[in-house]
A and B are shown apart, each in its own frame.
Chain A
Amino acid sequence: MIRKFQQFLVVMFVSFLPTVVCAVDDDLLWSLRTSTRPDPPPFESLKHGQQVRNAVDQFVLNRLEEASLEPAPHAARRTLVRRAYFDLIGLPPSPEQVDAFMEDESPDAWPRLIDSLLESKHYGERWGRHWLDVARYADSGGYETDIYYRNAWRYRDYVIKSFNDDKPYDVFVQEQIAGDELWPDNLDLDPRRVYIIPEKKQRHLEARIATGFYALGPRVHESALDAKRLAYETMTDWVDATASAFMGLTLGCSRCHDHKFDPFTQEDYFALHAIFASAREVELPLWNAMGEADWRQSYPRVLAVEEARKAYRLFEAKTAGQTLSPEQQTRKQELLAAIGQAVLALPEQTGGQATIPYDGLMHIPTASILGREHPALIRTVHLLERGELQKPGKPIQSALPVSLAIATQTPADLADPFTARKRFALWLTKKDHPLTARVMVNRIWHWHFGRGIVETPNDFGNMGQPPSHPELLDWLSTRFVDGGWKIKDLHRLIMNSATYRRSSRFGDERALVKDPDNRLLWRMNRRRLEGEAIWDSVHSAAGTINLAMGGPPVAPPLAGDEIASLREKWHWVVSADPAQHTRRGVYLLVRRNFQFPIFEVFDAPVTAVSCPVRDVTTVATQALWGLNNHSVFRQAMQMAGRIVTEAGDDRTAQIDRAWRIALGRPPTDDEAESSLLLLEDLETETAMPLKNPPETLKSVSPVRAQALTKLCLALFNLSEFAFVD
């Protein structure tokens, strides 16, 4: 009934647009109304008008003054530089980078710092990781067997590149939802170009890889045993992830009944299922005909491996239960060596000038993406009573949610299955779409301040929180769209405001009582670093961080107590090259069933569904990690070695250097003195020398080396190390 009425409205608005829209608008959820750009409160009317750096401040100060709250003063420059580095690139500034900013007295030092950080390739790693939370990114399927996703990382690298390229957000959305339909060029690569992929095709390739968003959700291994249910669960994942990530709506409830609080019906929900019913996951080969020819040419080498293994198995069967004679022992070793030699004879790259590495042992490089389901195999989507598969109701066609179609003055119908996703993506990125820009602008705000203007970034419905600064959100959103959906512009705008630059240490009693959660932003929020940023910081301080970008996920070695809960050892195949073990956190293997221990301890997102806001817990396992973890201790030794290299054997210089490296500031006099006392206390005659000190520590006495290491370990455990003011 409701739906009929809404469809009626859709038809009506074409002819009676103004009346109907107004009629609907009165009850419409705030987030479904098109934003209009409000004027910022004039700064002449503001008591603190002289503080205004840009319009952001006008909106924020206006609310503060209405509430009679005093804004915090500007943070110290030393605080700001650390804040900016962690915020934009997720890495601590080196002592030299801090000094350079401290010494830069020009008035545009701050905006230039922001610009240079936005140009850093590490920006995409930091902000791409934020998006990966939203995209429920993982390299495996979860559930019982946690099946491995060999090429999910291509989506991860796509996200990082998109942020670094400052890709307009509307394009970013379009690519992920319908890259295959919107950039449909034939990707068969021209063999005459040998191994080089022309730029236009690169563009289309990139858009296709973007749809990997859909290929990396949770998946049950035994799906063949319960195919209908699992297909349904996959579709549910796709629709829920789409709604959460791009629309800021939680539609999950509508699977079982009409949404109780938001204007979405069960029929709307299954109409979204229908949009995706014509898609299926496909493997896209990522190389050209020449590469494939190379692969075929070399294939007999794979056969050689197979035959060498068979030969060994035959020997094994023949000698089962026997004690091997010396000759047989020799034979066994020969057979094993033959396997090894055959494996080593496998080519690792295609030929030619621009070589492409094979995936694994000669596996063709591919990406898992969305493609078209064969028309004969497209399932009819039914409305399911209470969401139960056993209770199918009437068939449902692809369509936009009716209330949103009305709000955006778009016909809801998307009947043609092969353009449904494309039209859905284009509709979502219409300039006047009420949700898309608001949702993303709010996410950006959340990632800068630790809390969104809407505190529930994935729920812009009635059950979410209303915006704390609705006009500011609308002003930013409309400006974002009009400026070409550029995320880096948004960073500049936000970070150049006075609001962003306020001190977090301000403790105005009145404000603490009146607005303890700092909803009105009278000060900056102090941020606890995420697991990845803590990992990156420890390795940066130690000087061991490997800043290489991209590629397959890395698995650093784990201690015995860390792997104890691993289902099988193959789930964590340690990367052989030690240089890989100190890569940035964003490149480490993300298993749904086994989180990298330090990330788990520091609140890594649960990858089952889109994660809009990471938890920030304070638990004892974090302290245990900092005090006792094997890799933390190794990095403390490395940091001690770095300090010896950079500051020599003078204790005062060492202490100064250690604090600057770890915290971006020199120690206070008291801290320097207590550090010295600590070193003296540790440098006892009976102190054990370190068991495996790095080369860099060998130029000082073993007693000094162990004491300095322990001082570095203490610094890793400081609140100041894990928090950003």
Chain B
Amino acid sequence: MHPSSSRRDFLFQGGLGFGTLALGDMLHAEDIDPRSQDPLAARAPHFPATAKNVIFLFMQGGASHLETFDNKPILTKYDGQLLPESLQDFDLAQINTADAKVMASQFPFDKYGDSGVEISRLFPHLSQHADKLAIIRSMHHELFIHGSAMIMMHSGTSLLGHPSVGAWVVYGLGCESDNLPAYIAMTDGIFRNGASMYSSGFLPAVYQGVDMRAEGVPIQNLQRQSDITAGEQRLLLDQINAWNREHRQTRPGDSRLAARIANYELAFRMQTAAPELIDLSGETEATRKLYGIDDEPSARFGKMCLMSRRMVERGVRYVQLICGGWDAHGDCKGNHQSQAAKIDQPIAGLIADLEQRGMLNDTLLVWVGEFGRTPIRQGTNGRDHHPYGFSAWLAGGGVAGGKTIGATDDFGFNAVEDKVHVNDLHATMLGLMGLDHEQLTYHFEGRDRRLTDVGGENNLAQRLLQA
């Protein structure tokens, strides 16, 4: 029944990114099979997937590829000199390419693991997992200001109003949690682009990410008013449900009314489930240590990483963690040193923890910022925004690590070899999740929209799976 394709009907059911198994109990026979209508019901991928969940590690502000994963010794040689003329006419945000001077990488690189991939000394913990990382050194797009570039990295276009990657993934695969959102975003500071970082855009609002906080009340309105006791709330809820059921019984053929009753129960359950999720008191000392939770400056991001493991364990499909502060216009060295210290042990701990629990194979980790940073100097020792060539890495979710893909030119300026556009990265992520980026479409404003717009040709998924 109800084979409707209309957008509105599609939205009548469902929770806040919850699978609605419990909905079945609430529904009466007249009210359709819940799973056929639930927009968040877990769905089979287009083809067999290696990754079931994603943890997207976003380095907000733009981490320098030249200080992290893209070793360019020539920068040391040309330190203080002008760029070659061929690179002098590219627009950048704040500096003039023609008269700015090259700046050497601020950190030495070493080879790590059996594979010997090069990583800078910024990441002593993470580099121990070098053989699990697939590093892309040829990321690129053309937007050199934060606002547009972050929209690009999260939604595949430079314009507001498009769904974020997580929204597309949940739209494609649904949710496996009964009482937690399918898509959770968490930041160590602020969402620099506001809700557009986890927006459902033109997709139905059920696919929107929920911004959850690592401390205090994790989700808006999760806590009872202090004037109401737990017992009173249960009493009220039972009465509300009873009245709402009566209301529904005299109004046939409106599935929203049943969904509403189910959602009151879901909300009630979430009041327990969400605080339990962020409560780390049950984790062992060893686990806390692994993530660097009891040390500064890794404590905050360490907690977020540990929570993200707990989310994935509980069936959350897409987790987005944001680490702010990478916008190193001045003192690139000092900035990146303290930034890396915030995330190095936490991310390494996350990889190790997922692995020891047998979850790494199902969970795809993606590390990237909205752009890299210029090979040329800004001010005395900073670097400006740089979208024409930068780095990202993927791990877990079936990705065979210990490899690098693509390359920038000698100066780390333009991606030149095996170029990977943001649309390609997104196509790759979907591919590892078993979703064909050309088939995952939603009709909006006159055409079938895709996360990858008209791009995504360089889908790396198959290559990443091969050792």
Interface residues of A (CB under 8 A from B): 142-146, 218, 220-222, 225-226, 229, 233, 244, 250, 252-253, 256, 259-262, 450-451, 455, 458-459, 461, 463-464, 504-505, 507, 512-513, 516-517, 526, 528, 560-562, 564-568, 591-595, 597, 600, 603, 606, 608-609, 613, 615-625, 627-630, 633, 670-671, 674, 678, 681-682, 687-688, 690-691, 706, 709-710, 713-714, 717-720, 722-723, 725
- A contact residues around B222 at 8 Å (CB): 561, 624, 628
Contact of B263 among A142, A450, A566, A619 (CB under 8 A): A619
- A contact residues around B2 at 8 Å (CB): 516
List the A residue with the shortest CB-CB distance to B11.
A617
A615-B145 in contact (CB<8A)? no
Contacts of B1-35 to chain A: CB distance below 8 A: 1-2, 4, 6-9, 11-18
B447-A253 in contact (CB<8A)? yes
Q: How long is the Cα–Cα vector from A278 to B455 in the complex, in angstroms?
A: 33
* A-B contact sample (15 more), CB < 8 A, given A618-B11, A713-B236: A143-B151, A144-B150, A221-B147, A463-B443, A504-B251, A561-B216, A594-B195, A606-B160, A618-B12, A618-B263, A625-B221, A628-B222, A628-B225, A671-B243, A719-B261
Q: How long is the Cα–Cα vector from A235 to B381 in the complex, in angstroms?
A: 38
Q: Given A624-B267, A710-B228, A713-B236, decide whether A609 and B195 contact each other with a Cβ distance below 8 A.
A: no
A226, A591, A617, A691: most-surrounded residue (chain B CB, <10 A):
A617
B446-A616 in contact (CB<8A)? no
Contact of B205 among A562, A568, A617 (CB under 8 A): A617
A567-B223 in contact (CB<8A)? no
- A contact residues around B147 at 8 Å (CB): 143-145, 220-222
A259, A512, A568, A628: most-surrounded residue (chain B CB, <10 A):
A628
- A contact residues around B4 at 8 Å (CB): 516-517
B1, B11, B248: most-surrounded residue (chain A CB, <10 A):
B11
A624-B270 in contact (CB<8A)? yes
Contact of B240 among A218, A624, A718 (CB under 8 A): A718
- Tell me how far the C-beta of A377 lies from the nearest C-beta in chain B, rounded to whole angstroms: 21
B227-A690 in contact (CB<8A)? yes
B247-A718 in contact (CB<8A)? yes
List the A residue with the shortest CB-CB distance to B370.
A144
B144, B205, B237: most-surrounded residue (chain A CB, <10 A):
B205
Contacts of B175-224 to chain A: CB distance below 8 A: 190-196, 199, 201-202, 204-206, 210-211, 213, 216-217, 219-224
Stretch among B252-260, B306-314, B345-353 lining the A interface: B252-260
Contact of A593 among B161, B193, B446 (CB under 8 A): B193
B253-A507 in contact (CB<8A)? yes
- B contact residues around A562 at 8 Å (CB): 220-221
- Tell me how far the C-beta of B365 lies from the nearest C-beta in chain A, rounded to whole angstroms: 24
A142, A145, A505, A562: most-surrounded residue (chain B CB, <10 A):
A142
- A contact residues around B224 at 8 Å (CB): 627-628
Q: How long is the Cα–Cα vector from A218 to B160 in the complex, in angstroms?
A: 8
A567-B159 in contact (CB<8A)? no
- B contact residues around A690 at 8 Å (CB): 227
B252-A512 in contact (CB<8A)? yes
B216-A623 in contact (CB<8A)? no
- A contact residues around B206 at 8 Å (CB): 617, 619
- A contact residues around B256 at 8 Å (CB): 528, 616, 618, 723
- Tell me how far the C-beta of A594 lies from the nearest C-beta in chain B, rounded to whole angstroms: 6
- Tell me how far the C-beta of A590 lies from the nearest C-beta in chain B, rounded to whole angstroms: 13
List the B residue with the shortest CB-CB distance to A670.
B246
Contact of B257 among A517, A564, A723 (CB under 8 A): A723
B223-A710 in contact (CB<8A)? no
- Tell me how far the C-beta of B455 lies from the nearest C-beta in chain A, rounded to whole angstroms: 11
Count contacts between A and B, CB distance < 8 Å: 263
List the A residue with the shortest CB-CB distance to B12.
A618
- A contact residues around B16 at 8 Å (CB): 619-621
A720-B1 in contact (CB<8A)? no
List the B residue with the shortest CB-CB distance to A622.
B263
Contact of B7 among A516, A528, A613 (CB under 8 A): A613
- B contact residues around A714 at 8 Å (CB): 236, 239-240, 243
Contacts of B231-279 to chain A: CB distance below 8 A: 232-233, 235-237, 239-240, 242-244, 246-248, 250-254, 256-257, 259-261, 263-264, 266-268, 270-271
What secondary structure prevails in chain A residues at the interface with B? loop
Q: Given A517-B9, A623-B264, A624-B220, decide whether A220 and B191 contact each other with a Cβ distance below 8 A.
A: no
Contact of A516 among B1, B151, B240, B264 (CB under 8 A): B1
B257-A719 in contact (CB<8A)? yes
Contacts of B445-465 to chain A: CB distance below 8 A: 445-447, 454
Q: Tell me if B115 is interfacial: C-beta within 8 Å of chain A.
A: no
Contact of A629 among B143, B221, B233 (CB under 8 A): B221
Q: Tell me if B93 is interfacial: C-beta within 8 Å of chain A.
A: yes
Contact of B13 among A221, A513, A608, A618 (CB under 8 A): A618
Q: How long is the Cα–Cα vector from A619 to B205 in the complex, in angstroms?
A: 9
A719-B270 in contact (CB<8A)? no
Q: Given A226-B145, A565-B211, A671-B243, decide whether A458 and B445 contact each other with a Cβ distance below 8 A.
A: yes
- Tell me how far the C-beta of B374 lies from the nearest C-beta in chain A, rounded to whole angstroms: 14
List the A residue with the shortest CB-CB distance to B239.
A678
List the A residue with the shortest CB-CB distance to B9.
A517
B446-A253 in contact (CB<8A)? yes
- B contact residues around A621 at 8 Å (CB): 16, 210, 219-221, 267
Q: How long is the Cα–Cα vector from A218 to B239 in the complex, in angstroms?
A: 45
A620-B18 in contact (CB<8A)? yes
4 A-B pairs with the lowest CB-CB distances in the bound complex, closest first: A608-B161, A593-B194, A507-B252, A143-B147
Q: Tell me if B289 is interfacial: C-beta within 8 Å of chain A.
A: no
B264-A720 in contact (CB<8A)? no
- Tell me how far the C-beta of A723 lies from the nearest C-beta in chain B, rounded to whole angstroms: 7
B446-A459 in contact (CB<8A)? yes
Q: How long is the Cα–Cα vector from A342 to B410 in the complex, in angstroms?
A: 59
- Tell me how far the C-beta of A47 lies from the nearest C-beta in chain B, rounded to whole angstroms: 23
- Tell me how far the C-beta of A407 lies from the nearest C-beta in chain B, rounded to whole angstroms: 19
A615-B205 in contact (CB<8A)? yes
B15-A620 in contact (CB<8A)? yes
Q: Tell me if B86 is interfacial: C-beta within 8 Å of chain A.
A: no
- B contact residues around A252 at 8 Å (CB): 445-446
- B contact residues around A615 at 8 Å (CB): 7-8, 11, 204-205
Q: Tell me if B355 is interfacial: C-beta within 8 Å of chain A.
A: no
B235-A678 in contact (CB<8A)? yes
List the B residue with the shortest CB-CB distance to A387.
B454
Contact of A222 among B93, B201, B264, B268 (CB under 8 A): B93
A528, A615, A619, A688: most-surrounded residue (chain B CB, <10 A):
A619
- B contact residues around A459 at 8 Å (CB): 445-446
Q: How long is the Cα–Cα vector from A500 to B242 in the complex, in angstroms?
A: 30
- Tell me how far the C-beta of B349 lies from the nearest C-beta in chain A, rounded to whole angstroms: 26
- B contact residues around A625 at 8 Å (CB): 220-221
Q: Tell me if B356 is interfacial: C-beta within 8 Å of chain A.
A: no
Q: Given A608-B160, A609-B161, A618-B14, decide whether A567 and B243 contact each other with a Cβ distance below 8 A.
A: no
B227-A633 in contact (CB<8A)? yes
A222-B191 in contact (CB<8A)? no
Q: Tell me if B417 is interfacial: C-beta within 8 Å of chain A.
A: no
A-B CB contact pairs (8 Å), 24 listed: A142-B194, A143-B147, A218-B160, A261-B446, A505-B250, A526-B254, A564-B220, A565-B190, A593-B195, A606-B201, A609-B161, A618-B13, A618-B260, A619-B16, A623-B264, A624-B220, A628-B224, A630-B225, A633-B225, A670-B246, A681-B235, A691-B227, A718-B243, A719-B261
Q: How long is the Cα–Cα vector from A560 to B447 in the complex, in angstroms?
A: 41
B263-A620 in contact (CB<8A)? yes
Q: Tell me if B94 is interfacial: C-beta within 8 Å of chain A.
A: yes
Q: How long is the Cα–Cα vector from A301 to B271 in the complex, in angstroms?
A: 53
- A contact residues around B1 at 8 Å (CB): 513, 516
Q: Given A143-B160, A463-B447, A565-B195, decide whether A222 and B145 contact each other with a Cβ distance below 8 A.
A: yes
Q: How long is the Cα–Cα vector from A281 to B261 in the complex, in angstroms?
A: 49
A561-B223 in contact (CB<8A)? yes
Q: Given A225-B144, A624-B222, A678-B235, decide whether A593 and B247 contact each other with a Cβ distance below 8 A.
A: no
A222, A262, A591: most-surrounded residue (chain B CB, <10 A):
A222
